[in-house]
Amino acid sequence: MDYKDAIFREDAMEYLIKHYSGFPDDIQAGPSRNVSDRIFKDWRWVRCLDGEIVFANCIQECITSNDFTVRKETMRIEV
C-alpha cells in the first residue's frame, strides 16, 4: 500500500474507532442491500460475497472486523 492510500485508510480507521464500539452484525441497505450509504467520505459498510462485513471505499484496502479490533486495542483516541 502506498503512503497516500495508507493515510486515507488510517483516517477511516480513526473515524471508526471514534464512532463505533464494534463492527455491525448487519448493514442498513443503501444503494443496494449489500452496500450502505456513505458514512465517512466515500467509505461505507459493504457485505462481501462470503457474507463478511467490511468498511470500504473500493479504492484503498478495506478494513475488516479483525483489523478494527486489533487497531482499537493499540490506539488511544480521545472521544
Cα–Cα distance between 37 and 40 in angstroms, integer?
Answer: 10
Q: What ranges do the domains of the chain cover?
A: 3-77
Q: Give the pLDDT score at 30.
A: 86
> For the segment 3-35, what is each residue's pLDDT rounded down to a tens digit?
888 999 999 999 999 999 999 999 988 889 999
Distance of CA 17 to the CA centre of its chain: 9
Residue 79 has pLDDT above 60, yes or no: no
CA distances from 16 to 7, 31, 49, 65, 75 (A): 14, 21, 22, 11, 12
Mean predicted lDDT score pLDDT of the chain: 91
Q: Give the pLDDT score at 77.
A: 59
Query: Could you tell me how many residues make up the chain?
Result: 79
Q: Give the pLDDT score at 31.
A: 85
Cα–Cα distance between 44 and 29 in angstroms, integer?
Answer: 10
> For the segment 39-73, what is each residue's pLDDT rounded down to a tens digit?
999 999 999 999 999 999 999 999 999 999 999 88
